[in-house]
Amino acid sequence: MASKVIHAIYTDDDILLQAVKQVRAGRYHIAEIYTPFPVHGLDKAMGLEPTRLAITSFLYGLVGLAVAIVMMNYMMIEDWPQDIGGKPSFSFLSNLPAFVPIIFELTVFFAAHLMVITFYMRSKLWPFKEAENPDVRTTDDHFLMEIDVEDHDVNQLSKFLYDTGALEINLIDNK
């Protein structure tokens, strides 16, 4: 993490989106952007890679499918087979149509719940965690772009950011 960052505050999402493109074209490093609502296209403008959470969701669904099949086979075929409605209990495949709703529900259950847990762990959103929002106005109607100063001239960078439409610029010393 850089020791000094600049917080540039914007009031419009379209101006912010254009500013992000200009800042990236100027070869400055955007550390983070805080917005009161999701801004469509901001991830592509920042050059972020696509998320791989969909792949994990599919894998979690496969885990749920496997758990459902093993659970249904054990409970209904091996452990305590019963004749319910004249259906034979000697084979999993012959009872598969009756098991489909339970298999589907457990697949969705595992995928959904494990995805939420993965998202919170990946985002480092622990219970009782303090908010990392640097400016309370970003929860209402302002947008904040955090740029690493590194070896750049602060005055030149500030002028550049004002030219992109920034309303306010603050130099912050991280410790």
- pLDDT at 65 exceeding the cut of 90: yes
CB 95 within 8 A of CB 89: yes
- pLDDT at 1 exceeding the cut of 60: no
Instruction: Name residues whose C-beta falls within 8 Å of residue 109's C-beta, 6 or more positions apart in sequence.
Output: 64
Closest CA to 144 of 131, 157, 160, 161: 161
b/e map 134-161, b = 16+ CB within 10 Å: bbebbeeebbbbbbbbeebeeeebbebb
Backbone φ, ψ for residue 38 (5° rounding): -60, 135
Q: Tell me the pLDDT tens digit for each residue of 117-172.
A: 998 898 888 888 888 888 888 888 999 999 988 877 888 989 999 999 999 999 88
Closest CA to 132 of 141, 123, 122: 123
CB 154 within 8 A of CB 49: no
Q: Tell me the pLDDT tens digit for each residue of 67-101.
A: 999 999 898 888 887 777 776 667 788 888 888 99
**Who has greater pLDDT, 83 or 19?**
19
The pTM of the full predicted model, rounded to 2 decimals, is 0.71
Closest CA to 15 of 3, 33, 31: 33
Q: Tell me the pLDDT tens digit for each residue of 44-63.
A: 999 999 888 889 999 999 99
Res 107: pLDDT: 97
How many angstroms separate the CA atoms of 22 and 147, rounded?
Answer: 13
Instruction: Name residues whose C-beta falls within 8 Å of residue 20's C-beta, 6 or more positions apart in sequence.
Output: 30, 33, 42, 45, 46, 145
